[in-house]
Amino acid sequence: MTQFLRQRQVFDATNQAVGRLATRVVLALRGKDKADFLPHLDRGDIVEVTNIDKLKFTGKKLEKSVYHHYSGYPHGLKTKTVGEVYAKNPGEVLRRAVREMLPDNRLRQGMMKRLIIK
């Protein structure tokens, strides 16, 4: 098996829509932008996203989009809007978008560790 080196890709989030930026990040994390892509191997790059506090939201996504979390107990459904999460931690919005776009398999955890949000 040939040796490969992980490159560092830097994305600037200034005036970028969350979903469009997340798709570019996912392609780099999975390695789909390389000619030797194989879906069962983790050959993606290290991805760094800068200026995360300057993301652009179109429409009323900050007020109308919600995140749900269920604790497992009765009346344990917690709901937060994207605006609440973004105000507390802007990087969490992008992190959740990227996590949901990655395949739900054993490779996802390693890919998420290579995502650096500043």
pLDDT at residue 1 is higher than 70: no
User: Which residue reads 């802007």 in tokens?
Assistant: 90
Taking the C-alpha atoms of residue 15 and residue 66, their distance in angstroms, rounded to an integer, is: 22
Residue 108 lies inside a defined structural domain of this protein? yes
Per the CB < 8 A criterion, the answer to whether 9 and 45 are in contact is yes
Within-domain flag for 73: no
In this structure, is residue 64 part of a structural domain?
Answer: no
Identify the CA nearest to 53 among candidates 87, 77, 100: 87
DSSP lists the bridge partners of residue 70 as: 77
Query: Would residue 51 count as lying in a domain?
Result: yes
Could you tell me if residue 71 is inside a domain?
Answer: no
Q: 57 φ, ψ to 5°?
A: -115, 125
83 occurs within a structural domain: no
> Tens digit of pLDDT for each residue in 12-52?
999 999 999 999 999 999 999 999 899 999 999 999 999 99
Tens of pLDDT, residues 45-100: 999 999 999 999 999 999 999 999 999 999 999 999 999 999 999 999 999 999 99
Predicted confidence band at 2 (pLDDT cuts at 50, 70, 90)?
low
User: Where residue 47 sits, what CATH number does that domain have?
Assistant: 3.90.1180.10
User: Using an 8 Å Cβ cutoff, are 22 and 59 in contact?
Assistant: no
- Report how many domains make up the chain: 1
Residue 3 belongs to some domain of the structure: no
Domain around 47: 8-57+89-117
Residue 97 lies in a domain: yes
